[in-house]
Chains A and B, each alone.
Chain A
Amino acid sequence: KAGVTQTPRYLIKTRGQQVTLSCSPISGHRSVSWYQQTPGQGLQFLFEYFSETQRNKGNFPGRFSGRQFSNSRSEMNVSTLELGDSALYLCASSSGGGDSYTDTQYFGPGTRLTVL
């Protein structure tokens, strides 16, 4: 079974631009979560989607948004990029009801975003 895939793996943008990152979950998984990882702030939860609905949201500004499609693939978008948005963005998927009690999150390798 293929793991979680994220595209692109590396991305360079300039301030003010917008970016879209893609995540394809493991086949059959319905929950997709996004995390931002930086040296200064560590791993921070962005949002979680389950069956095309945002179920949980972290404490990020509205410039960060996401969506999930009917095939469970997910995208996240960051508008008006700032230097501080440079980070590794990780996507994770889980099966079943999508609850941390019963399920396990499987992480993708991440997309490394650099904002110049």
Chain B
Amino acid sequence: AQSVTQLGSHVSVSEGALVLLRCNYSSSVPPYLFWYVQYPNQGLQLLLKYTTGATLVKGINGFEAEFKKSETSFHLTKPSAHMSDAAEYFCAVSEGGGFKTIFGAGTRLFVKA
């Protein structure tokens, strides 16, 4: 069975600092991996996804993630945090064949001025 673990329910960074949100997955087959962002009182927005091919995936708003099969990880990074990045971030996995997507518990990102 698939599962996703996000390390750290809350992460706080200073504006301009590196953002690193950690995600590890468990899947019995090669997974499709996603990062979503949720702003207060809104639905989820896809930041980026990995299906096959290049293991470094670039997404919107300057975010990127690297798929590391040996570590079963898919950590999300952004070189320089902006105040507008404050939100909740979800890592997710799907095995394809539709959209049965399993989400991690989420990491709330705080950005300090």
Contact = CB atoms under 8 A, between A and B. Distances in A.
Contacts of A48: 98-100
Interface of B: 32, 34, 36, 41-46, 49, 51-52, 90, 92, 94, 96-106
- A interface majority secondary structure: strand
A4 B90 contact: no
Interface of A: 4, 31, 33, 35, 42-45, 48, 50, 55-56, 58, 90, 92, 94, 98-101, 103-110
Given A90-B43, A107-B43, A42 B96 contact: no
B34 to A, nearest CB: 8
Give 8 closest A-B pairs by Cβ, nearest first.
A107-B43, A43-B103, A56-B100, A100-B94, A107-B44, A56-B98, A33-B99, A55-B98
A94 B99 contact: yes
26 contacts: A35-B101, A35-B103, A43-B44, A43-B103, A44-B103, A48-B100, A50-B98, A55-B97, A55-B98, A58-B100, A90-B43, A92-B43, A98-B98, A99-B97, A99-B99, A100-B34, A100-B51, A100-B94, A100-B101, A101-B32, A101-B52, A101-B96, A104-B46, A105-B44, A107-B36, A108-B43
Contacts of A104: 46, 49
B105 A42 contact: yes
A4 B42 CA distance: 12
A42 B101 contact: no
B99 A110 contact: no
Contact of A42 (B44, B45, B104): B104
B98 A31 contact: yes
A56 B105 contact: no
